[in-house]
Structure 1
Amino acid sequence: MVRPTPPHQPRLGRESDSAEHADSRAGEENLFDRPTHDDSGEFFEPEPVRVRVNDESKVSRVDTGQLEETPVPGSRFSSWRQRRRVAKAQSAVTEAEPTDDDPDTVVAFPRSSHRRLRRNRWLALLGALLAAGLFVGLVFFSPLFATRAIDVEGARLTNPQNVEDALQRFEGVPLTRISKDEVREAVGNVPQVKSVDVILKPPHTITVELHERVGVATVQEGQELILVDSQGKQLSTYGQQDRPDVPMIEGGRDVLSTDKFSAISNVLASLPANVLSQLDTAAAPSESAVELTFADGRKAIWGDSSNSELKAQVLAALVNDEDTADGTEYDVSAPLHPTIK
């Protein structure tokens, strides 16, 4: 049986044996401490280790002549791997040791993967913020979408130039910074305009579609005729020779704030255009007695402003029908039972 001698095995035999084999034991003890590298760091395979071979007696001593060589453990690959491991260890130690030329050398440890991942996330966030800032700058502050044209549609009573002047402050402003409510509010100062539809057409155009107020009557103020809508809003002025095809209400501008005007305007607002254009005057001796006079002298007794839509339909039918068109007075105060004179 071949095995190394345990370090705790006691020395046996005579004292002379100890002296006689002292040198051999010293040599045997140093066999396990042999170096595997020379001074230059080069790896070499150590000499085969010699071990004691005991005969079958547990107390007998084995002389040096009974030692046998054992093969070096491992294959070529394990030896190559061991040399590589030793070379890497030496390389790490060499890099970590400061040189004589630079005693303050600091060893740089490899960065953590978590630190690299965090740095990459910050870089990605910074890139996204820069891209968003560039997009906002191009869309909201650059002249790429600046307003250069204002189109006005549906202007009949309104002077289109007045609308363009009201919207002049939007020229040069990017469309992305203009709200439709702002445009409506600006055009709302034009008296002829009742409502506005706004269309923003990229890249440079604002289209404004006007819904104008409807003039239903005129009032005379001096030598001028003032066109007003059903709410008494003054739309425009005309000369005597340019009178529009709507009836005149006596009383001048002061009548616009009275209840009589409210009664008359409700009646006029319900009439179809082909009947309204034939009227010459409209009067209201009282709120319950509205009277209309046609340009050819015919009259219409309306009564109060109730059932105005039904009365307007009946009056239009009587005026435009050939059998009743030659009448001089139409009483529609009771629309289900009209009378003709």
Structure 2
Amino acid sequence: MAGTTTAERGERQQESSGPPPARRFARRRLRLLLAGAALVLLSAGGVWLLYGSQWLRVERVGVSGTTVLTPAQVREAADVPVGDPLVSVDTERIESRLRRKLPRIDSVDVSRSWPHGIVLKVVERTPVLLVEKGGKFIEVDDEGVRFATVSEAPKGVPALELSVSRSSSAAASLRRFGEGRLTREAVRVAGALPAAVARDTRAVKVRSYDAISLEFGDGRTVAWGSSEKGNAKARTLAALMKAAPGARHFDVSVPTAPSSSGS
């Protein structure tokens, strides 16, 4: 039987090699064009969904973490653009607006809650001292920030009394450190007090940087000195009050050599 001719072998090789290169390129190009068109449509659809549709818009504003402030106050100050696309809400601007309008807010986290919400998580400042002025009370937080004025003194928060005499040597302390620094020193003292002592403290009095004292509601007093070594002074005071329950005056300005007197 005669074998396959050269011409026949050439025809079979051409058939097995597929379409010509030009046709293969055209098909590849068509697939790329179709993929690109699909990507454009998907992108356009995504943009429309986020910005143009009515599906992903702000409908509610949630508030958490308030104690003195009310959720309504926070919502009003936040001024969230209800009805706007959720993706376009400027959360950093809302945070800045809240801290500016409501100084009682120490920090706030503004986040999106898909598909329709904005959530405001608030942390309020806590007063550790009060400054009485004009029959009202200015609240001072643990950083020495005077953040709010209230008509009634919060319970359990001692008063800050800056009784620096400008005619004495203490005036030099005021000039050197300034009222703000002395206030922060008083805050440090208040922060070092044991809870039981803090509850009984009526006032933290500051005559100079290193002459800070406490006055309890029952008239007992404590010479604290400067705010340095606050933890050691707090431990010493607790032990001294336990050892001399009838004393009227305690001195822990030098915690290694405390003293008590009066009865």
Q: TM-score range by the shorter chain?
A: 0.7 to 0.9
CA distance in 2, matches of 1:317, 1:199: 48
Could you tell me which amino acid in structure 2 is paired with residue 225 of structure 1? F
The one of 76, 88, 95 aligned to 1:184 = 95
The one of 242, 249, 254 aligned to 1:329 = 249
Report the aligned-residue RMSD.
2.8
What's 1:235 paired with?
147
What's 1:102 paired with?
none
What's 1:117 paired with?
28
What's 1:279 paired with?
201
CA distance in 2, matches of 1:288, 1:316: 21
Indicate if the aligned counterparts of 1:260 and 1:287 stay in contact, CA closer than 8 A. yes
**Compared CA separation, residues 192 and 316, structure 1 to 2 (3 A):** farther
Q: How far did 1:177 drift?
A: 3.4
What's 1:68 paired with?
none
Q: How far did 1:172 drift?
A: 2.6
Indicate if the aligned counterparts of 2:65 and 2:122 stay in contact, CA closer than 8 A. yes
Could you tell me which amino acid in structure 2 is paired with residue 309 of structure 1? N
Indicate if the aligned counterparts of 1:191 and 1:233 stay in contact, CA closer than 8 A. no
What's 2:41 paired with?
130
Could you tell me which amino acid in structure 2 is paired with residue 268 of structure 1? A
What's 2:124 paired with?
212
What's 2:183 paired with?
261
Indicate if the aligned counterparts of 1:157 and 1:236 stay in contact, CA closer than 8 A. no
Indicate if the aligned counterparts of 2:62 and 2:118 stay in contact, CA closer than 8 A. yes
Per-residue Cα deviation, 1:94-126 (whole angstroms, up to 9, x for no partner): xxxxxxxxxxxxxxxxx9553343233212211
Could you tell me which amino acid in structure 2 is paired with residue 329 of structure 1? H
Q: How far did 1:318 drift?
A: 4.6
Tell me the TM-score normalized by structure 1.
Answer: 0.58
Q: 1:1-341 to 2 correspondence within 5 Å?
A: 112-178=23-89, 180-189=91-100, 190-239=102-151, 242-244=152-154, 245-250=156-161, 257-316=179-238, 318-319=240-241, 321=242, 323-341=243-261
Aligned residues: 225
CA distance in 2, matches of 1:180, 1:116: 48
Identity %: 28
**Compared CA separation, residues 291 and 170, structure 1 to 2 (3 A):** same
Structure scoring higher RCO (CA < 8 A, sep ≥ 6) equals 2
Give the number of the structure whose residues are more often strand, by fraction.
2
Per-residue Cα deviation, 1:48-91 (whole angstroms, up to 9, x for no partner): xxxxxxxxxxxxxxxxxxxxxxxxxxxxxxxxxxxxxxxxxxxx
Indicate if the aligned counterparts of 1:219 and 1:251 stay in contact, CA closer than 8 A. no
Q: How far did 1:306 drift?
A: 0.7
- Which secondary structure state, in structure 2, belongs to the residue aligned with residue 250 of structure 1? strand
Indicate if the aligned counterparts of 1:311 and 1:333 stay in contact, CA closer than 8 A. yes
Q: How far did 1:294 drift?
A: 0.6
Could you tell me which amino acid in structure 2 is paired with residue 310 of structure 1? A
Unmatched runs of 5 consecutive residues or more in structure 1: 1-110
Indicate if the aligned counterparts of 2:50 and 2:87 stay in contact, CA closer than 8 A. yes
CA distance in 1, matches of 2:95, 2:67: 18
